[in-house]
Amino acid sequence: MMGLPVPPGVMVRTDDGRPAFVCLRFGRKGEKPPPAIAQHVVEDDEFMAAGIVAFDCWIGNEDRHDRNLAYSREPKLDLAVFDHSHALMGCEAGGAVQRLTDSLDKTYVSSGCLAPLMTKGGAFPEWAKRVQSIDPGVIKNTCRAVSRVGAATHDEAKAAEEFLLHRRTRILGYLQKDASALPKVMEWGLA
Amino acid sequence: MSTEWLVAKYMPDLKRREPRNVGVMLRVGHRTLSRFAGERAGGGIDGRFLRGRVADVDTYRAWVNFWRHAVEDAGSLREVMQPTGDENYAVEYGGERLLGSDAREAEDMLDYLYATLVEELPEKEALSVAQLSENVLGRLDIADKVERGYRLNIPHERFTDRVRFDYRYVNRRPHLMQQVSLTLSDERSWDVAHAAAWSFEKAHGAEVDTSLIALVKQRQADDDLERQLLLLEEQAAVVDVGETERATENLRELLQLGTGQAI
């Protein structure tokens, strides 16, 4: 929806009937590329790096590090962004609704590995626009579908829906509010 | 100074789960050394030597580059560990040696670990000039007769300098030998060539009837290599220890073996 290189994934049922999300194996011949060197990601494609920062800001991801980014400069292996399992609902069992409610306007910029390395902010408005352009109906449907298959409770899905819809139009504001997390960005390119 | 090492592994089939060792990363003090399967002189990975060993050579190259970067950056080697799990590539802790220090020892240890853990018969290009030289001396059956780390006194007006040679062997006359690694296609090979040429020049001035021999490990031919070899040939006989059989015969002739009695 946003245009980030996220490998495709699907909802499945495990052997014991529990719902799960699996990401398809990616990389050449199904072999996962090495973790990204964050500096290389920013230097080689700062536009895409800005997209990842904006995406993590939207979904409340505090866990973006070199091992959930894959990229190689030489030889060139394409960037992949995966494993956002600590975003939205967090990783504390039963703590999802509390997290989503309490951190509705938390910036979620400073905790990733890319933000401190970014030097240009000109791409952020474009990514903020892309997040904003995602149809609210799609977000609602997705959250409800997750609840229907039993991957989240009704309350959790509702809180996630509100979280995403609330933040959807505020990405640029969060980035500016937490500008200290982007210490090398001097030019924001904002109107 | 302690020495720690990691072992890089590749698991071709995640169902069978049979990892193979593909490299060794070693840290001695602040210095990091590594060697990987398919690695050529200068550090590049030659895919021709990996056929049938990894599914995708570029993915393997990317992992090697990542590991090299990671061990250089890591405060402790243990930070780079990545246990065998659901990925084809992994890094496991190899071990630690608490004694031993100098740089050459580190190279030898890397050679030993690589030969022990990764490839029983390491390819010629994976061996150091020291190992290749020892190999040739062994084939000539004089490995236990040569003096290693010989210091040649060079008198100056106010002091006596002591220039180190890797080997001294006396048969009819003294033979002084230096290992010269010309494997890197940058300034480092020039530094090595200049240092060796300087020591040979000093030996010329100090000892009259001494034969001087450069035991060279070469990289692929380029203009600089040719000039480096010419520089050495001005001062010494040059033996390419990378070509084991030819080197053995050349050195046999230079050391006058078979025609005299070793002392």
CA of A71, closest CA in chain B: separation in Å? 9
The yes-or-no verdict on residue B32 having pLDDT over 80 is: yes
Please check whether residue B242 is in contact with residue B208, taking contact to mean a CB–CB distance below 8 angstroms: no
Q: Is residue A185 within 8 Å of A121, Cβ to Cβ?
A: yes
pLDDT of residue B11: 95
Q: Which of B53 and B2 is assigned the larger pLDDT?
A: B53
Q: Inform me whether the pLDDT recorded for A167 exceeds 80.
A: yes
Residue A74 pLDDT more than 60?
Answer: yes
Say what the pLDDT of residue B41 is: 62
Cβ pair B59:A31 closer than 8 A: yes
Minimal-distance CA residue of chain B relative to A73: B62
Question: Is B9 an 8 Å CB contact of chain A?
Answer: no
B233–A contact, CB cutoff 8 A? no
Residue A91 has pLDDT above 70, yes or no: yes
Please answer whether residues A72 and A120 qualify as being in contact, where contact means their C-beta atoms are separated by less than 8 angstroms. no
Continuous segment of H or E residues that includes residue B28:
strand B20-28
Select from A27, A30, A34 the Cβ nearest to the Cβ of B66.
Answer: A34
Write down the pLDDT at residue B260: 45
| Residue whose pair of structure tokens reads 């006359």 in the numeric block | B173
Q: Do residue A74 and residue B65 have CB atoms under 8 angstroms apart?
A: yes
Angstroms from B84 CA to nearest CA on chain A: 13
pLDDT of residue B121 exceeding 60, the answer is no
What is the percent of chain A with per-residue pLDDT over 70, rounded to a whole number?
A: 98
pLDDT for position B262 = 45
Rank A97-111, B25-39, B87-101 by mean pLDDT and report only the highest: A97-111
- Does B56 contact A35 at a Cβ distance shorter than 8 Å? no
Confidence label for B101 from pLDDT (cuts 50, 70 and 90): low
Indicate the domain borders of chain B.
3-121, 130-254
For an interface test with B, the pick among A31, A32, A77 (most B C-beta atoms closer than 10 Å) comes out as: A31
Task: Specify the pLDDT at position B263.
Answer: 43
Closest CA to B217 of B144, B136, B160, B109: B136
User: Quick one: pLDDT at residue A102?
Assistant: 95
Run of H or E including B26: strand B20-28
Looking at residue A163, its pLDDT comes to: 97
Residue B172: name the closest of B254, B88, B93 by CA. B254
- pLDDT band at B42; cut points 50, 70, 90: low
pLDDT, residue B109, reads: 82
Question: Facing residues of B155 across strands?
Answer: B160
Question: Residues in chain A whose beta carbon is closer than 8 A to a beta carbon of chain B?
Answer: 27-35, 37, 72-75, 77
CB of B21 closer than 8 Å to CB of B118: yes
Distance from CA of B46 to the nearest CA of A (A): 13
Higher pLDDT, A190 or A79: A79
- pLDDT grade for A107, boundaries at 50, 70 and 90: very high
Q: What is the C-alpha R_g of chain B?
A: 21
DSSP SS3 for A191: coil
3-state secondary structure of A130: helix
CB contact under 8 Å between B87 and A32, yes or no, is yes
Evaluate the CA torsion angle A65, A66, A68, A69 in order and state its sign.
positive
Residue B137 carries which DSSP code?
H
**Which residue from A minimizes the CA distance to B55?**
A29
DSSP code of residue B29: T
CATH second-level architecture of A9-181? Orthogonal Bundle (1.10)
| Among candidates B59, B67, B69 on the partner chain, residue whose Cβ is nearest the Cβ of A27 | B59
Is residue B67 a contact partner of residue B74, using CB atoms and an 8 Å limit? no
Give the range with max mean pLDDT: A153-167, B49-63, B102-116: A153-167
Q: In what order do the strands lie in the sheet with B211-218?
A: B147-155, B160-171, B173-182, B211-218, B237-240
Q: Is the pLDDT of residue B122 over 60?
A: no
Q: CA-based angle B82:B85:B91, to the nearest 5? A: 30
Contacts of A30 in chain B (CB under 8 A): 55
Pair B42, B185: CB distance under 8 Å: yes
Q: From the candidates B15, B20, B58, which should be mutated to test the interface with A, based on the most A CB atoms within 10 A?
A: B58
Q: Flag if A75 and B58 touch (Cβ within 8 Å).
A: yes
Q: Match domain B130-254 to its CATH number in 3.30.499, 3.40.50, 2.30.29, 3.40.1350.
A: 3.40.1350
> Which chain B residues in 67-106 lie under 8 Å from chain A, judged by CB atoms?
67, 69, 87-89
Strand partners, B239: B215
Give the three-state DSSP class for B135.
helix
Confidence band, pLDDT 50/70/90 cuts, at residue B171: very high
pLDDT at residue A51 greater than cutoff 90: yes
Residue B255 CA to residue B262 CA, distance in Å, equals 9
Contact A82, A68 (CB under 8 A): yes
Rg (CA), chain A: 17
Q: Give the model's pLDDT for residue A58.
A: 97
| pLDDT of B177 | 97
Query: If you average pLDDT over every residue of chain B, what do you get?
Result: 87
Q: Which helix (H) or strand (E) holds B27?
A: strand B20-28
- For every residue of B184-239, DSSP letters joined together read -SSHHHHHHHHHHHHHHHHHHHH-SS-EEEEEEEE-S--HHHHHHHHHHHHHSEEE
pTM, whole model, 2 decimals? 0.70
C-alpha B18/C-alpha B88 separation (Å) is: 10
pLDDT category at B146 given cuts 50, 70, 90 is very high
For residue A182, what is the DSSP state? S
pLDDT at B120: 59
Q: What is the 3-state secondary structure (H, E, C) of B70-133?
A: HHHHCCCHHHHCECCCCCCEEEEEEEEECCCCCHHHHHHHHHHHHHHHHCCCCCHHHCCHHHHH
CB contact under 8 A, B87 and A72: no
Instruction: Tell me what pLDDT residue B83 has.
Output: 79
Q: Where would I find the beta strands (DSSP E) of A32-76?
A: 69-72
Contact A31 B66 (CB under 8 A): no
Top mean-pLDDT range of A19-33, B59-73, B249-263 = B59-73
B55·A29 Cβ contact <8 A: yes
Integer Cα distance of A98 and B152 in angstroms: 78
B186-234 pLDDT per residue, tens: 888 999 999 999 999 999 888 778 999 999 999 888 999 999 999 999 9
Q: Is the CB of residue B32 less than 8 Å from the CB of residue B122?
A: no
Residues of A in contact with B13 (CB under 8 A): none
pLDDT of residue B96: 85
Cα B154 from Cα B200, distance rounded (Å): 12
For chain A, what is the mean pLDDT? 92
Phi-psi region of B17 (alpha: psi -120 to 50; beta: other; left: phi over 0): left
Tokens 């203009």 sit on residue = B223
What's the rounded mean pLDDT across residues B175-194?
Answer: 92
